Structure 1
Amino acid sequence: MKKNNFLVLMMLLLLSVVLVACNFGGEEETTDDSGTTTDTDTTTDDSSGGDKELNLVVASEPPSLHPQLATDTTSSTIMSSTHEGLMTLKNGEPVPGVAESYKMSDDQLTYTFTLRDAKWSNGEPVTAEDFAYAWEFALNPANASEYATILYAIKGAEAYNLGTTTSFDEVGVKVIDSKTLEVTLESPTPYFLELTAFKTLYPIHKATAEANPKWYTEADTYVGNGAFVLSQWQHAGSLTLEKNPEYWDADNVKLTKVNIEMVESETTQMTKFESGEIDFLGTNYGKISLDAIERLQSEESLNIVDYSGIYWYKFNTTDDVMKNANIRKALTLAIDRAGLIKNVTKGEEEPALGMVPNGVEGFGDDAGFFKDADYEGAKAALDAGLKELGLSDPSELNLKLSFNTSDAHAVIAQYIQEGWNKNLGINVTLENAEWQVYLDKLSSLDYQIGRLGWIADYNDAYSFLEMYNSADNGNNDTGWSNEEYTNLLKQSTTETDPAARLDLLKKAEEIIIAEFPVAPIYYYTNLYVVKDYVTGMEPDNLGNINLKDVDVTK
């Protein structure tokens, strides 16, 4: 019996030698669409030798796949796979990305990052200069990056962005050599490493951007440094991501291709998931239709996890009517948040009675700044507002509530519209627009009341408050500003005592809530469904899903 086993073993060994000699497995030459010949290791994919494809949806065309110009979650979701920062997030915590290591000075002001041997998708090395170039692009006022303020933690960044200084040499970003980047901060910033994982701090391939300023608008000119390459982009139709063979950790990327279809309707998205056309639905890859939530819960297939985000209505405070704080207050108090959650959203959200979600450290330990569905308070504020506007009856108000095209946003708007009409006697019309058009309307203050959601860029209260530090902040979209509010936020950036810093942020929250440039509605939860053959797609509390960690086992 032992002899027979030995003979079988020897035959198998000889057969494996023959297979390798004939190039079955191991490396083979393949030619891409451009005619370039590359070496591909076919043994790193599925153990069965087949490709691993993941099928997803997003709700719309990504408005911009430029890391320093993008402001929305759809674009961010795509770029999280095509780009990588100095650090990346794993389970919500910063871990090394392009930076192999870093050192922090004793005073917590200077970070020195050492880059690993990472490459761009075109095969060229990722350098410290690529990071400095990208950050300068974001801060250069000529580029109007709406997220430039997220870099203000860096010494001299605000002055450069505001044009007070004109030389980037005065900003605390120094290229020591091709593999070493030194960053000096204005003051200790406890979430700075998280910032280096955010899209605005992603690197740009300098040579590509200088040769073609529109490099980010088409798949065939797109250069990234992430786990996946943008291989196809059918505008307003679909995107395709393919495993990036140049990625420094490519051996641990299990998926070979990700097909992403653009589907606006949540009902259609849900149908595609249930028919097996897509493998995951929720987070930033589509949205579960509201009419399916209770059924999915009863089937025990719906996942509901924490999400550091808020759903709110913004008010255009430059509008002739919405500039009145009492009108804004009346509209905010007259929203029945608990009823909305129970009867419409049904996703275990919490009524938002402040600007910062309860899950953020130091917040959520009180009853909020106002009462939910406070119709008495709303009517008192409305009466005062009408008097200030020279009006005598609520019916004289004709307001417009705008939202981006979505089944869910439409139903939520209808619920709130009905409540405002019933409880305040105000006439409200609804208006929807495609995502990019809608964002442009908000940015140009071409609206009265507009829906937006905000997911924390980093899990700190400052992420929810900072966008309103001035009317010029690219993410403000309300025209509102308050000098005391701005000063409190500035003080919080230099305050090193955590308790004192928290107190400054809470005082700032009190000020903005008192003037109601926005109406908080509910704090998000994250709802998703996933096929049982997909693993690694559990979102963290910021909604991040790293496709690098995803596997398909069917």
Structure 2
Amino acid sequence: MSTRSRPAGRSTGRRRSTAAAVAVALALSGCSLFGDDGGNASGTGGDAGSGGADGSDAELAAEQVLRLSSSNLPIIDPQVVTFGMWMSAKGIFEGLVVQNEDGTDVLPGMAESWEVSDDGLTYTFHIREDAAWSNGDPLTAEDFERTYQRLFTPEAGETGGSTSGANSYQSATNIKGATDFLEGATDDWSEVGVRAVDERVLEIEVASPTPGFLLAMTHPSMLPLHMDTVEEHPQDWQEAEHIVSNGPFMIDQWVTNSSMELVPNPHYWDTDNVHLDRIEIALLEGGTTGAATVPYENDEVDIVGLANADIIRMESDPELADHVQIAPSVSYVYLATLRSENPLLEDVNIRKALSLALDREYIAEVTPDAQPGRSLVLGIVPGYDESIEVNEDVEEAQGLLAEAGYPDGEGFPEINLLAGSSNVDVEAIVDSWRRNLGIDAKADTVETGVLVERRWAVQDEDYVGFYYGSFAGTPDWPTMVGSLWSPRDIQEFSLPADVWAEYQEVQADGELSISERNAELAEMLDEHASDASHELADLVDQAMNSADEAEQQELFTQAAQLREEQHLIIPVLWKDRYFAVRPTVQGLNLRPSSDAYYFKGISIAADEQ
């Protein structure tokens, strides 16, 4: 299947303009939570054959070695939001189901079959007889139940979410009782809808009919873990000498901050479709910069994620243009409101003015892997409704500032854009505000660790603005509205700065039990979060509990529109992911998913040169 494709309605023409030239001069890639393979999300499933992307057969190389580079992986625990969870999903672990080649449906994984009850509430998975761990132990339904009990057990830190270090469970998966257990509202495991009926049968109940449930089960959080090893080596179960996995590949060597080597799992159920003898991964500290293409062009790696300037340069090079492949995106770039002692951005009309003044066409023009993103719901979501979009309206934006006492931007405080790396789209965003509103704006680029700390802090009175981020998720309504920038997130962002400071103190209070802490936090949200954020939560709750798919979609659409109208999280771009792929790499299927391809099915053709 061809991978050089884009979502329907997206132009495939090359954009070459003055703006593109600016991109070459300014672009430096950043890192994001889907940063495998050089800053791009990765992962692929199904029974892909060994033929090339064009379906042709090729003579295979004598030794099947795939060479990659990746953002550094401190951990690969799929239950924690990090770069590593995507590497886990590529083929180190395998869940009950995997995604098909185009990411629109699922195929059997550890479960050879499943049934859904007539009311849509109970999924019964049948674990295949030959499912096994890399140490030869049989993989059973109990392994999944024990894994999910670990996933849903609350810790002292953040429980659930989409930020680095959080528990990775996506609430839109909608497993009965899972969120209550995770938040400490109950400690009775029997109230959670996960049950090993016997060694080969796993039963999962959802709280309400959930059309996207099976695709949600392909998320890294739902991968099984060898719990005997996790419990025996709680601090170092992921290290090469201890880790036991169940995917087509297993970790053979892992040199911290340097390299990882994967080899085939001899106990994997489908070894006929595992063609690679070895996968060599160079781990790049601090993410990938444009220099990461140097090893590719020196024939040292076979697949590399491309930064903005690299995309333009390689697509313009007659010898390299055919190496460029596109994974249609499920990622977006957003601006999240920073809390500040200066209450300027607590005014929704000020935030709205800044959103309306963004020239998203121009920002996308200088960002080769992007298109204008006018919603936090990606346009590839089935049933997407353009009515939820935020469209540029400079005249209205200027009028809103004038009504707030800042005609032509006079007297308006400097707006800061806090970012963890220097990006051409960051510069284009601040340029939009300067040009369209006549205000002072600047990019405040800091180290990634500093960004993670400062984005949650209450800023000083002389510092107002947004932080720049990007994330990805399954392109369906429950994920895009219920999990990524969920009602809880919007409630928290709507809190006044002084209340947010108190809220963080409660979050960090080690003297409180999980249930006590969450009860206090819920009380603060009930009292201080905006009315609109509570209305949003009600709409999402109604949608998640609706048994009618059309009604559910309508409720999610209403919720998405209401969320956009708050302008607390401002959409900027929808991003594709560009890869340079050596022609000898066969059987690679790039999908519109958070993990763009699986290792399974890939082979290496003999070099004809």
TM-score (norm 1): 0.81
Report the alpha carbon displacement of residue 532 of structure 1 after superposing the two structures with TM.
Answer: 0.8
Provide the C-alpha distance between the structure 2 equivalents of 1:202 and 1:553, rounded to a whole number of angstroms: 31
User: Which stretch shows the higher mean deviation, 128-137 or 443-452?
Assistant: 443-452
Is residue 523 of structure 2 the alignment partner of residue 523 of structure 1?
no
Aligned residue runs from structure 1 range 376-525, under 5 A: 376-385=395-404, 397-405=413-421, 410-435=423-448, 438-439=451-452, 441-442=454-455, 448-456=465-473, 458-466=474-482, 467-471=484-488, 482-525=533-576
Report the alpha carbon displacement of residue 318 of structure 1 after superposing the two structures with TM.
Answer: 6.4
- Which of 276, 285, 308 lines up with 2:299 in the alignment? 276
Whether the 8 Å contact between 1:63 and 1:436 is mirrored in structure 2 is: no
Whether the 8 Å contact between 1:319 and 1:448 is mirrored in structure 2 is: no
Q: Which amino acid aligns with 1:310?
A: Y
Provide the C-alpha distance between the structure 1 equivalents of 2:187 and 2:106, rounded to a whole number of angstroms: 32
Q: Which amino acid aligns with 1:547?
A: F
- What CA deviation, in whole Å up to 9, does each residue of 1:264-288 have, x standing for no partner? 343212222222121112xxxx333
**Would the alpha carbon gap of residues 393 and 419 (structure 1) be closer, same or farther in structure 2, given more than 3 Å must change?**
closer
Report the alpha carbon displacement of residue 422 of structure 1 after superposing the two structures with TM.
Answer: 3.4
Larger Rg: 1
Whether the 8 Å contact between 1:228 and 1:241 is mirrored in structure 2 is: yes
**Would the alpha carbon gap of residues 353 and 246 (structure 1) be closer, same or farther in structure 2, given more than 3 Å must change?**
same
Q: Could you say which residue in structure 2 is the equivalent of 1:98?
A: 110
Q: Could you say which residue in structure 1 is the equivalent of 2:181?
A: 160
Whether the 8 Å contact between 1:88 and 1:197 is mirrored in structure 2 is: yes
Q: Could you say which residue in structure 1 is the equivalent of 2:262?
A: 241
Aligned residue runs from structure 1 range 213-232, under 5 A: 213-232=234-253
- What CA deviation, in whole Å up to 9, does each residue of 1:170-206 have, x standing for no partner? 1111111222111111111111111222111111111
- Which of 303, 312, 324 lines up with 2:334 in the alignment? 312
Q: Which amino acid aligns with 2:435?
A: K
**Would the alpha carbon gap of residues 475 and 73 (structure 1) be closer, same or farther in structure 2, given more than 3 Å must change?**
farther
Provide the C-alpha distance between the structure 2 equivalents of 1:304 and 1:148, rounded to a whole number of angstroms: 28
**Would the alpha carbon gap of residues 98 and 262 (structure 1) be closer, same or farther in structure 2, given more than 3 Å must change?**
same
**Would the alpha carbon gap of residues 393 and 169 (structure 1) be closer, same or farther in structure 2, given more than 3 Å must change?**
same
Q: Could you say which residue in structure 2 is the equivalent of 1:267?
A: 290
Aligned residue runs from structure 1 range 323-402, under 5 A: 323-342=346-365, 344-347=366-369, 349-364=370-385, 366=386, 369-372=389-392, 374-385=393-404, 397-402=413-418
Report the alpha carbon displacement of residue 314 of structure 1 after superposing the two structures with TM.
Answer: 1.7
Is residue 179 of structure 2 the alignment partner of residue 127 of structure 1?
no
Q: Which amino acid aligns with 2:187?
A: T
Provide the C-alpha distance between the structure 2 equivalents of 1:394 and 1:243, rounded to a whole number of angstroms: 64
Provide the C-alpha distance between the structure 2 equivalents of 1:511 and 1:103, rounded to a whole number of angstroms: 36
User: Which stretch shows the higher mean deviation, 503-512 or 520-529?
Assistant: 520-529
TM-score (norm 2): 0.74
Is residue 76 of structure 2 the alignment partner of residue 65 of structure 1?
yes
Q: Could you say which residue in structure 1 is the equivalent of 2:603?
A: 551
Whether the 8 Å contact between 2:334 and 2:469 is mirrored in structure 1 is: yes
Report the alpha carbon displacement of residue 491 of structure 1 after superposing the two structures with TM.
Answer: 0.8
Report SS of the residue matched to 1:215.
coil
> Which blocks of at least 5 consecutive residues in structure 2 are unaligned?
1-49, 51-57, 161-166, 501-528
**Would the alpha carbon gap of residues 532 and 126 (structure 1) be closer, same or farther in structure 2, given more than 3 Å must change?**
same
Whether the 8 Å contact between 1:443 and 1:474 is mirrored in structure 2 is: no
Report the alpha carbon displacement of residue 522 of structure 1 after superposing the two structures with TM.
Answer: 1.6
- Which of 31, 43, 55 lines up with 2:67 in the alignment? 55
**Would the alpha carbon gap of residues 329 and 72 (structure 1) be closer, same or farther in structure 2, given more than 3 Å must change?**
farther
- What CA deviation, in whole Å up to 9, does each residue of 1:337-392 have, x standing for no partner? 111222x1123x3311222122111115x3653323x22222233344567xxx99
- What CA deviation, in whole Å up to 9, does each residue of 1:411-457 have, x standing for no partner? 2112222222333343334344555664455466789522222222x
* Relative contact order, higher structure (CA 8 A, sep 6+): 2
> How many residues are paired up?
493
Whether the 8 Å contact between 2:420 and 2:445 is mirrored in structure 1 is: yes
Report SS of the residue matched to 1:512.
helix
> Which blocks of at least 5 consecutive residues in structure 1 are unaligned?
1-43
**Would the alpha carbon gap of residues 254 and 432 (structure 1) be closer, same or farther in structure 2, given more than 3 Å must change?**
farther
Q: Which amino acid aligns with 2:475?
A: N
Provide the C-alpha distance between the structure 2 equivalents of 1:546 and 1:475, rounded to a whole number of angstroms: 36
Report the alpha carbon displacement of residue 75 of structure 1 after superposing the two structures with TM.
Answer: 3.4
**Would the alpha carbon gap of residues 162 and 305 (structure 1) be closer, same or farther in structure 2, given more than 3 Å must change?**
closer
User: Which stretch shows the higher mean deviation, 289-298 or 350-359?
Assistant: 289-298
Report SS of the residue matched to 1:131.
helix
User: Which stretch shows the higher mean deviation, 497-506 or 310-319?
Assistant: 310-319
Q: Which amino acid aligns with 2:547?
A: T
**Would the alpha carbon gap of residues 329 and 476 (structure 1) be closer, same or farther in structure 2, given more than 3 Å must change?**
closer
Q: Which amino acid aligns with 2:67?
A: N
Report the alpha carbon displacement of residue 495 of structure 1 after superposing the two structures with TM.
Answer: 1.2
- Which of 258, 282, 286 lines up with 2:279 in the alignment? 258
User: Which stretch shows the higher mean deviation, 320-329 or 108-117?
Assistant: 320-329
